[in-house]
Amino acid sequence: MTSFSEENYLKAIFHLEKTSTGGVSTNALAEKLETKASSVSEMVKKLSKKELVAYRKYQGVSLSDKGREAAVEIIRKHRLWEYFLVEKLNFSWTEVHDVAEQLEHIQSEKLVLELDKFLGFPRKDPHGDPIPDTQGNFQSLEKVLLAEVEPGQQGLCVGVRDSSREFLEYLDKNKIALGKTIEIIEREEFDQSLLIRLENEELHISKSIANNLFIKII
Amino acid sequence: MTSFSEENYLKAIFHLEKTSTGGVSTNALAEKLETKASSVSEMVKKLSKKELVAYRKYQGVSLSDKGREAAVEIIRKHRLWEYFLVEKLNFSWTEVHDVAEQLEHIQSEKLVLELDKFLGFPRKDPHGDPIPDTQGNFQSLEKVLLAEVEPGQQGLCVGVRDSSREFLEYLDKNKIALGKTIEIIEREEFDQSLLIRLENEELHISKSIANNLFIKII
DNA sequence: TTAAAAATTTAGGCAGCCCTAAAAATTTAA
DNA sequence: TTAAATTTTTAGGGCTGCCTAAATTTTTAA
Ligand SMILES: [Mn+2]
Ligand SMILES: [Mn+2]
Ligand SMILES: [Mn+2]
Ligand SMILES: [Mn+2]
C-alpha cells in the first residue's frame, strides 16, 4: 500500500508541519530526508495523487486526514519499538533510533497491538516523546526548553528536542537523564550558558544544550 | 549491503539446496520465490558477482560460504522472531510466518543478539525447526515423517514439513500440536491413510497429512 | 517596480527488480 | 542420433525512487 519511502515522507511532513506556518516546503522536506528537492517534488505529487497530502505547486504540502493518520501510526510504531529496545533488549537511548527506523515499517496490526499490550501500554518513548494510542491520540505534557527557564526555577527533565546520538551521548556523559531534577542557578548573559544543579551536583551547560532539553517546571 | 530481495534469494537457495542434487535450478528458484525464471537469471548473476553464490550458466546456483553464512543469519532471525511472536505476543503458530518474513530483514547485530538472550536462547521455532546459534550451527534432531512410521510404533510430534497456514490450521482443528504423543494404530493400504492415537484420542488422518508431520520415535 | 537571488519544478538519466517474448542451450523421447 | 520438448538466458521494457542540470516561479532587495 504505502512504500517505505512514502512512509518516511509522511512522517517527515508530520514533524515539519509542527514548526511551519502553511505548507511544508520542498526544501525543508529535502533536507530532513537527506534527498534532493527534485526528488521531493516528484514524490509529493505521488502522495497527492494518493490523497495522502494536499499539494499546490510552489506552495508546499500538508497532510490530509488520511495522511496524518498514516503518519501517526508510523510514529506510534517507531516509539513503541524504541521503548521495547530499551526496556526489554538492553539498548541505550542512544542506540534505538536507527533500528526503530527500520522496525516502524513492519506491517501487522496485530503486532503493534500486542507489542503495546506486552509493554504495558507505555505512553512515553525513551526520549520522552509521547506514544500515540490506538486512536492516534498523543498525551502531551506541558514542557519547556531549559533555555527558556529563569534562574531560581527548577524542573524535572522530561524530554529532548534533538535525539541525535551525539546529543544523547553528551547527556549520558554528564549524567543528565530523564526524570532527574534540574535547578537553574544562574545564566551567564554573555553566552547564555547556564549553571545548573543536577541532583545536588553543579554543572555548567552551554546555550545550545539548554536549547535541546525539555523540563517540566515543578 | 544485501537488499531484501537478495536476502530472499539467498534464503530460498539455502532451502532448495537441501533437496536438490547439484545446483539449484532457475525454475525451482522462480517457483519458490513466485517470480519468473528471467528475473532469477538476472539476480543470480548479481549474487554471483557479489560472490554470494557459485553460478554456471544453465547449471544452476549454489551458495558460497559467504552466501550460506548470510542465509543462515536470515533464517536465524526469522525463527527467533517467530518464537518471540508466539511466546511473548500471543501469536499463534499459524500467524507468525508473514510477519517474520518482514522482521528477518531488520539489520542490527545487537538486536538479534539481545533478542536471542531475551528469549532465553531458544533452539526451536514454533514449527519445530531449529534456530541456528550465533555461529550458525543448527541443532538438528533425528525426526521422521509420520507417513514413514510403521503401525505399533509411537513418537513425539516434533515438527511440520509444510508450515502453511492451511496445514497448521488443520492441525489446530484436530488438536495435533508439537510435544504431543502419537501412536500409529494401523495403516489402510488402499490410500495409505492412518489411524492414530493422539494422547488417548483416536484419529484418522490422510497420507498427505502424515507426509507433512515429523515425529521422533520413542 | 524591477532585477537578482532563492526556491521549486521539469527534463533526462540511472540503478534495482520485475515482466513478456524471443533466442539459445539442454534434456527427453523417438 | 535427431527432433521435439523443456529449461534457461537474453532482449527489450516498465515502474519506483533517486540524481544533475536546466527551466520556471516566487521572493527579496535594490
Ligand atoms: Mn527515534
Ligand atoms: Mn524517540
Ligand atoms: Mn516461517
Ligand atoms: Mn518457522
- Kindly report, residue by residue over B91-115, the tens digit of the pLDDT: 999 999 999 999 999 999 999 999 9
Q: Is A110 on the interface with B (CB under 8 A)?
A: yes
Label residue A70 left, alpha or beta by phi (over 0 means left) and psi (-120 to 50 means alpha).
alpha
Q: Is B110 on the interface with A (CB under 8 A)?
A: yes
Residue in this structure with the C-alpha cell 519547556, named with its chain if needed: A144
Disruptive mutation site among B77, B78, B89 for chain A (greatest number of A CBs within 10 Å): B89
Whether pLDDT at B164 is above 80:
yes
Label residue B152 left, alpha or beta by phi (over 0 means left) and psi (-120 to 50 means alpha).
left
Min Cα distance B106 → chain A (Å) is 6
CB contact under 8 A, A111 and B99: yes
CA of A64 to the centre of ligand 1 (A): 23
Q: Is B89 on the interface with A (CB under 8 A)?
A: yes
pLDDT score for A141: 86
| Residue B163 CA, nucleotide C28 C1', distance (Å) | 34
For residue B1, what pLDDT band results from cuts at 50, 70 and 90? Answer: confident
Burial tier of A170 (Cβ tally within 10 Å: 0-12, 13-18, 19+): middle
pLDDT score for A140: 86
Question: What SS3 state is found at B203?
Answer: strand
Residue in this structure with the C-alpha cell 518513548, named with its chain if needed: A125
Disruptive mutation site among A89, A104, A107 for chain B (greatest number of B CBs within 10 Å): A89
Q: Is residue A58's beta carbon less than 7 angstroms from any atom in nucleic acid strand D? A: yes
Query: A120-127, long-range: CB within 8 Å, 24+ apart, which pairs?
Result: A122/A80, A122/A83, A122/A87, A124/A83, A125/A78, A125/A79, A125/A80, A125/A82, A125/A83, A126/A82, A126/A83, A126/A85, A126/A86, A126/A93, A126/A96, A126/A178, A127/A82, A127/A93, A127/A159, A127/A160, A127/A163, A127/A168, A127/A178
DSSP string, chain A: ---HHHHHHHHHHHHHHTT-SSSBPHHHHHHHTTS-HHHHHHHHHHHHHTTSEEE-TTS-EEE-HHHHHHHHHHHHHHHHHHHHHHHHS---TTTHHHHHHHHTT---HHHHHHHHHHTT---B-TTS-B---TT--------EEGGGPPTT-EEEEEEES---HHHHHHHHHTT--TT-EEEEEEE-TTT--EEEEETTEEEEE-HHHHTTEEEEE-
Percentage of chain B lying above the pLDDT 90 cut = 96
Give the residues across from B198 on adjacent strands.
B182, B201
Q: Please state the rounded mean pLDDT for residues B133-147.
A: 94
Alpha-carbon span A129 to A140, nearest angstrom: 8
Alpha-carbon span B10 to B61, nearest angstrom: 10
Residues of B within 8 A of A95 (CB-CB) are 110
Q: pLDDT tens for residues B64-75?
A: 999 999 999 999
CB contact under 8 A, A111 and B90: no
B27 nearest nt, CA–C1': D7
Q: Please state the rounded mean pLDDT for residues A203-214.
A: 96
Q: Please state the rounded mean pLDDT for residues A80-100.
A: 98
Whether pLDDT at B5 is above 90:
yes
Q: Is A119 on the interface with B (CB under 8 A)?
A: no
For residue B199, what is its C-alpha cell? 494422547
Q: pLDDT tens for residues A110-141?
A: 999 999 999 999 999 999 999 999 999 999 88
pLDDT score for B198: 96
Q: Please state the rounded mean pLDDT for residues A57-61.
A: 97
- A window 46-65, beta carbon within 8 A of B: none
For residue B128, what is its C-alpha cell? 519445530
Sorted by sequence, the CB contacts under 8 Å of residue A22 that are 6+ apart come out as: A59, A60, A62
Min Cα distance B196 → chain A (Å) is 36
Residue A72 neighbours by CB distance under 10 Å: 20
Alpha-carbon span B58 to A105, nearest angstrom: 38
DSSP B56: -
Q: pLDDT tens for residues B31-55?
A: 999 999 999 999 999 999 999 999 9
Q: Which ligand approaches the C-alpha of residue B129 most closely?
A: 4
Alpha-carbon span A37 to A124, nearest angstrom: 33
The identity of residue A39, as a single letter, is: S
Sorted by sequence, the CB contacts under 8 Å of residue A12 that are 6+ apart come out as: A29, A32, A33
Alpha-carbon span A118 to A85, nearest angstrom: 13
pLDDT score for B141: 86
Alpha-carbon span B146 to B137, nearest angstrom: 26
> Could you give all domains of chain B from N- to C-terminal order, each with its CATH number?
4-63 (1.10.10.10), 74-140 (1.10.10.10), 144-217 (2.30.30.90)
Q: Is residue A46's beta carbon less than 7 angstroms from any atom in nucleic acid strand D? A: yes
Could you tell me whether strands B154-160 and B213-217 are parallel, antiparallel, or unpaired per DSSP bridges?
Answer: antiparallel
pLDDT score for A117: 98
Q: What's the predicted TM-score (pTM) here? A: 0.95
